[in-house]
A and B are shown apart, each in its own frame.
Chain A
Amino acid sequence: MDLSVVDMAVNRVGVEHSRVALLGISFGGYFVLRATAVDDRVAAVVANSPVVDLRAYLTSFFRFDPEQMLTADEDFSIVGIDTIPDEEMPPTQKEMARSLIPPLRTAELKAMSAIPHAAMPLEATWGATGGVVAGAKPLSVLGAGRADAEATVHSSVARTAAAPAHRTPHPGLARAETSQSPPVPPRRPLWSDRRPTHRQAGHRGPPQISRRTRMDLLSAPARHRDPSCRVLLSSPTRGWQFALHVMPGGRHSYATALVNPLIAGMFVMS
């Protein structure tokens, strides 16, 4: 990999290496948290409305989790979408299906079950930590996270006093590492609560998405801004723990990350 361009750019603009901040929006919140967990040169991180449950996020496009809601017999492929009448699956929903089915386009929708719930292989737990880790040393607190605060300010992240990598990892992490199939973190009731009802023989597909439902989809990720929404992350390489407290309010809307069909060909979980 060619690092010279960035090295040159960063040096030329007179950056202090101790003053590098990472900011990620939406799925980018996941990107930067993960990078921060393994790179202690990052002095500050802002996870703006981060995605913390990858599969819940993706299935939210579809309103239900195909793994739970579709039997193998009911599953459909990218080719089968074209046989479903528009009355049963609106064109916009078909477009989403085309986008969400993996890029080889031979797999069917249930292939999404390969996508993990946790956004990271690091241990992620909803609502179980009670907030910032006790005694945590702030990594950086960029603003108060008020709705009327500056545009870059939505979240605060604290990191424990830098523990060397050889220290005992977080118990949850150790549990995950010793198991072939890590326990799925408890999650709130999501989009899988609704059973598809408009399904006809020979035209297998998800329920019709009404305008109202689409609005529900648009507002659903507001849970990420719920003040009770907290995530604990442990870094296996650094022995760090993160307590992420997603602040309420903020100007970023998840609507910008939704309904775009540009997912096709891009998503392969290895």
Chain B
Amino acid sequence: MEDGADYGGASVGEGLWAAAKIRDLGVESWPDVFAALGDHQQQEGEQRAASGHTRSAHDLYLMASNSYRAAEYFAPIEDHRHIQLELRSRDAFRAAMQLSDWSFEPLEIVVDDQRLSGYCLAPHQPRDGRVLLAVSGFDGTLEETHLQVGVAGLQRGWRVVLISGHGPMDTLRLNPQTHFVPDTERWICPWSTWP
């Protein structure tokens, strides 16, 4: 939550509310509590958007994305909610980016017959020609990585390309049989390829 709060993914008060709720209901309630928080933020965001308050809608969609991510994080892999929460997090994130200060474009490449997802983000006035390709690890997501380092880069004038490869959940969403590979340059180098 720390990174999320700093870069718009959460509010400290709601985080503490969720923590108290989970403490009361037991750790098994983690996915439910954060999913409910995400639903609330998503609905609030939709209301703001309908009223034309795009900035507030953006903020709420971004928090909803992060709350759904938090819910999914401790949802068991075989729980049917897992993929639902994943996709809600992704959809809320994309809704937020459409209303954000950044130029935003979803990317997809195919490596070894697997569809790999990415996002290309840029400030409207980039500082210079620099670009940061950022990737999470074992079980991160593109959306979470945006909150961890993407926003920080954009705020400092960097273009940011968030990438994923074989194995992690961003790829699992689209390729149920995906698995990590030891030679990770297989999929990183295509992302960083340029003419």
Q: Interface residues, chain A, CB within 8 Å of chain B?
A: 1-3, 5-7, 9-11, 13-32, 34-35, 37-39, 41-42, 48, 51, 95, 98-99, 103, 116, 120-121, 150-152, 251-253, 256-257, 259-270
Tell me if B13 counts as interface (CB < 8 A to partner A).
no
Q: Are A152 and B192 in contact (CB under 8 A)?
A: no
Q: Are B133 and A22 in contact (CB under 8 A)?
A: yes
Contact A266 to B179, CB < 8 A, known contacts A7-B195, A95-B76 = yes
Q: Are A9 and B135 in contact (CB under 8 A)?
A: no
Assembled-state Cα–Cα distance A106/B173 (Å): 24
Interfacial chain B residues near A150, Cβ < 8 Å: 152, 156
Chain B contacts with A in 89-141, Cβ cutoff 8 A: 103, 105, 107-112, 118, 120, 122, 126, 128-140
Chain B contacts with A in 161-195, Cβ cutoff 8 A: 161, 165, 167-169, 172, 176-185, 188-195
State how many angstroms separate the Cβ of A259 from the closest Cβ of chain B. 8
Q: Are A35 and B192 in contact (CB under 8 A)?
A: yes
Q: Are B138 and A260 in contact (CB under 8 A)?
A: yes
Assembled-state Cα–Cα distance A25/B147 (Å): 12
Assembled-state Cα–Cα distance A91/B122 (Å): 44
Tell me if B88 counts as interface (CB < 8 A to partner A).
no
Tell me if B145 counts as interface (CB < 8 A to partner A).
yes
Q: Are A265 and B177 in contact (CB under 8 A)?
A: yes
Interfacial chain A residues near B139, Cβ < 8 Å: 257, 260, 262-263
Q: Are A1 and B192 in contact (CB under 8 A)?
A: no
Interfacial chain A residues near B192, Cβ < 8 Å: 20, 22, 35, 39, 41-42
Which one of A7, A24, A98, A120 lies within 8 Å of B135 (CB-CB)?
A24
Q: Flag B1-34 by CB within 8 Å of A: 1 or 0 each.
A: 0110010000000000000000000000000000
Interfacial chain A residues near B148, Cβ < 8 Å: 25, 151, 252
Interfacial chain B residues near A10, Cβ < 8 Å: 131, 161, 194
Interfacial chain B residues near A261, Cβ < 8 Å: 76-77
Interfacial chain B residues near A29, Cβ < 8 Å: 137
